[in-house]
A and B are shown apart, each in its own frame.
Chain A
């Protein structure tokens, strides 16, 4: 919402300086977004007349104009490309050396296609006073040549722009803003009241409203014998000062009423309207050429005003071109109506029209001002254009509802924590147009018709507090209470936090990628379900909710590789979606490693360099599981993983086949190809929600530590086994020989190659035997060793390496 200081002063008698008014506006909830002083920026631009406009000798689209810049100076030659540059036109001129804000250039003396140009005739867009760049500005013929444009146009008047919240429709007019300021002690509200204009004859046009829910009220009157033309200077300045383009007096009056009184109106050229008016739903595929020059195709969800020929206006949004008022209009129908807010919003959205009328009607205008607004407009029409008014036709209820709120005075203290005396409360509310009856403890408060946002006690508290000033509310310490201090993270939040730290501690870098990915990528990882497809994605490759973090991470790894950083280890811990129910959203931890981003050490290094491999991904997954508190002893590793992984270089981590916690391995070449990524890429995914919850312990004490008095014994064994034999089976078999004595089995060497059958491998294990009750004799140790050899060779079909 834009307005100027002088406009505000038409409604508020105040001596307060601009800065103070602006500060107060912000502090009562009408946030001042900007204050603009055009007069300074536009000082070099002056009013000038085009004396002649001849065709440029070398360019079809250019004209060579001689321009009278006033003050007795010689005419200036200007080459101009605007289609409306013509002899006699009064416009705006800028001499060489002027900074043109709309083009961000400083003008020089130029030669355009061989003709010298000493300045420029300007469009409104070039001055940044509106977006109108259709041609050079057209000023009234009597505008003073040579005078500064900004001063003449009233641009010396500072322009304030308010970032209006959607509840305050009453402040979409300067009048309402002034009322708020008066309540906040910033001056006296000027509100002389509106005298009805007596009709001189019955309105010849009848109005039928077919659906009162779409149009709760409609008022219409005819003014006959008007003389339309450019509006007077004061009105044009009001409009241009806030970036509106004056059209003609009748149209300008409606725009003025919109900004001055938050009361959008429409004017029809009565001679172009056939018969009576009907407010109805549009018929399917009816169309209207609107005032913006565009033709809209309509449907029955849209409310229109029609005459006997068809649609003449999009109700509450925009008028039609054919029944619009121009300088030939002699009889004008003025419409002031109430529209259904939701329908206006929907229609505006559907047709893509953001008009000043829509902006107000969808927020809900003051219903009681429908007829007074029409009276005020009639008065303005008669003042500016003459004519004789008809009586007013009114259809529907034009008064709104009566809202009376029983308000306990204690409510302000209860909700806002501040004491406000009744006398102050009453002063504020009365200034805002409320009526307060009684002296408490409960008062009756009548809400003014224009405050469509006020319904209950909390709203009244807000009115009082915002005017008193929220800064007056004393800060009150908030007691945390007697509850014991305890962790506040949920299990999944705690797992998330620990998983992130564990992965970062492994040298990985945390990424945060988009929750939505492309459909093919989602499908690759088991997603793409209809319920997870966005109806209105921001881009076609961000259409589906991600079933996995990996497509995002792989894309991120590739983007880094494309920037020259290919040895990357990235991880993410975040939400993945298997369905649209809350229980189908999970938290996954995933990571990728590429190139030399190995878990054994990053990058190439003199101490040894390794390419990341599938077992790095396994180690990452295990780091997450351990950090998240998974029962590590219970985890099973099954060769082969999800379909997106290399079948021979991947594994599944599970606790029984029913509970798969995750996968790890090398990405399948087909996955890489589909994701457009260079491999090999190692990846893992763990679903944190699938980790079984640990049993709650009654105490934080750790179990008693048992230290053996006897030294452990270590024995090494090397087995020659088939290449397909799994090391995990050898380890488990060895461990199973004596679960009490054998405390650790580790694999310290795996060898394939020279000296060994090509389809065999050597796996060497170190077994730790921990005596419990006494030192073991050599015979006893040998017996355990023999049993290990026997069990492993039996289980794996291998032999002890000689």
Chain B
């Protein structure tokens, strides 16, 4: 074996033996550095005859190329191994539990959600939304709505009163959202199409009554709207709200001072182990009251009942929320128990839309 071959083998062996990039670099310097063994051989070329230089030069350069390639290949191997070793040391515990995101943790109260659902449906039918104060006058809450002074119908509303003022008048907490209808009729000219959602109050407290509750009323006043339209609107509403293809409704004559004729509306449902299915079953569940606006109410609000006509309805927002979402006890709506709110509440990004679905 020639000296060159021996040297080449020795360098290649050293390359293969280099355990890390620093050792490899030392091998490189020892072979190809200024004073390296192969560099030294190359330096001898100058003193050789041209023929010798031709053969030796080619041989030495071949050896140098081999070494250079071996160095590069070894460097790649070592680099890759080093990276593997580093990555191996960098392992994290991917099973660590995440923190729940705020958007997942937060909740919208079922009443707020249902309020938006109802608004969405009626907005689509062309209704505006009206509001009024919780603290009302007797006139707006009762008298203008055709509840005569001392009439037993007033007793149906167990009213919260404030203390009488010096002039003997006393304010009250509205017992229904109907005073908003009065305010709307007094401030707006027909045609009128509004819904009036809001908080209402009656002195009552048991599993199905709380001293505060919420209603949404609707009012239409124009020159042609009649009971047939009212039935259609409520039917469309119930299908959209309960998100069912069909629903059976029963309209029963009833009595409210502010409507004539007055109707109560039941929906057909089947109750089974706490679950309610609409559009089937044997039970009739009362969900709202409605009727043609009483001529006395129109007159009290400055509207001629022989020219204009219209209808109104009112339903319990709490009640329809409970029905739709299977909430058993009304009182829990106001108890602010986070366990309950987490369960029955809605995530902030679950915004009801007609296009995307009210609740899905």
Known: A466-B253, A606-B97. 17 other contacts (CB 8 A): A27-B250, A165-B255, A416-B226, A465-B227, A475-B232, A476-B232, A478-B232, A480-B125, A488-B122, A493-B129, A503-B106, A505-B349, A510-B107, A538-B160, A553-B336, A559-B337, A560-B337
In the complex, whether A362 has a CB less than 8 A from a CB of chain B is yes
- B334: nearest chain-A partner, CB-CB: A512
Task: Say if the beta carbon of B333 comes within 8 Å of chain A.
Answer: yes
Compute how far the CA of A645 lies from the CA of B186 in the bound complex, rounded to whole angstroms: 43
Tell yes or no: B10 within 8 A of A by CB: no
Q: In chain B between 164 and 211, which residues have their CB closer than 8 angstroms to a CB of chain A?
A: 164-165, 170-171, 173, 199, 201, 203, 205, 211
Which residues of B approach A to under 8 Å, CB–CB? 96-97, 99-103, 105-109, 111-112, 116, 119, 122-129, 131-135, 149-153, 155-156, 160-165, 170-171, 173, 199, 201, 203, 205, 211-212, 220, 225-229, 231-233, 235, 250-255, 260-264, 292, 294-295, 305, 309, 333-339, 341-342, 345, 347-349, 351
Q: A166-B156, A538-B205 are in contact. Are A416 and B261 (CB under 8 A)?
A: yes
Taking A509-B342, A560-B336 as contacts, is the C-beta distance between A504 and B262 under 8 angstroms? no
Question: Nearest residue in B to A545 (C-beta to C-beta)?
Answer: B135
- Cβ of A394 under 8 Å from chain B: no
Mind listing 24 A-B residue pairs with CB under 8 Å? A31-B252, A165-B255, A415-B261, A417-B229, A459-B260, A473-B231, A475-B232, A478-B220, A488-B123, A488-B128, A489-B119, A490-B129, A493-B131, A500-B108, A501-B348, A507-B106, A510-B112, A513-B336, A538-B211, A545-B135, A559-B337, A560-B337, A563-B339, A570-B336
Determine whether the beta carbon of A342 is less than 8 Å from that of B235: no
**Looking at the complex, which one of B160, B253, B260 makes contact with A537 (CB distance below 8 Å)?**
B160
Q: Is A474 an interface residue (CB 8 A)?
A: yes
B108 close to A602 (CB less than 8 A)? no
Of the candidates A28, A168, A515, A575, the one having the most CB atoms from chain B within 10 angstroms of its own CB is A515
Q: How far is the CA of A487 from the CA of B116 in the complex (A)?
A: 13
- In Å, the complex CA distance between A533 and B171 comes to 10
| Measured CA separation A507–B347 after assembly (Å) | 9
Contact A515 B125 (CB under 8 A): no
**The one of B128, B171, B226 that contacts A415, using a Cβ cutoff of 8 Å:** B226
Minimum distance in angstroms from A276 CB to a CB of chain B: 30
Q: Chain B residues near A342 (CB, 8 Å)? A: 149-151
Interface residue range, chain A = 35 or more
Q: Which residue of A lies closest to B161 (CB)?
A: A535
A26 contact set on B, CB distance < 8 A: 252
What are the residues of chain A within 8 A of B339 when measuring CB–CB?
Answer: 563, 565
Contact partners of A507 in chain B: CB under 8 A: 100-103, 105-106
- CB of A510 within 8 A of CB of B126, answer no
Contact across chains for B108 and A504 when beta carbons are under 8 A apart: yes
Chain B residue at smallest Cβ distance from A496 = B112
The answer to whether A476 touches B348 (Cβ under 8 A) is: no
The chain A residue with its CB closest to the CB of B194 is A488
- Bound complex: CA A26 to CA B265 (Å): 12
Q: Decide if B99 touches A601 in the complex (CB within 8 Å).
A: yes
Kindly name the residue among A29, A471, A509 whose own CB sees the greatest number of chain B CB atoms within 10 A: A509
CA gap between A607 and B101 in the complex, in Å: 13
Minimum Cβ distance to chain B for residue A12 (Å): 19
Question: With a CB–CB cut-off of 8 A, which chain A residues contact B151?
Answer: 166, 341-342, 345
Specify which chain B residues have a CB less than 8 angstroms from the CB of A606 in the assembled complex.
96-97
Given contacts A462-B262, A490-B131, A533-B162, contact A414 B201 (CB under 8 A): no
Contact of A497 (CB < 8 Å), options: B107, B116, B122, B173: B116
A506 contacts partner chain B, Cβ-Cβ < 8 Å: yes
Residue of B nearest to A505 (CB): B348
In angstroms, Cα B334 to Cα A553, docked, is: 11
A535–B163 Cα distance when bound, in Å, is 5
Which of B163, B199, B348 is in CB contact (< 8 Å) with A575?
Answer: B199
**Shortest distance between the CB of B286 and any CB in chain A (Å):** 9
Q: Which one of B100, B102, B134, B295 contacts A515 once the chains associate, using CB atoms below 8 Å?
A: B134
Please name all residues of chain B whose beta carbon is closer than 8 Å to the beta carbon of A741 when the two chains form the complex. none
Q: Which of A377-385, A577-585, A647-655, A785-793 contacts B (4 or more CB under 8 A)?
A: A577-585
**A457 — which chain B residues lie within 8 A by C-beta?**
295
Nearest to A507 among chain B residues (CB) is B102
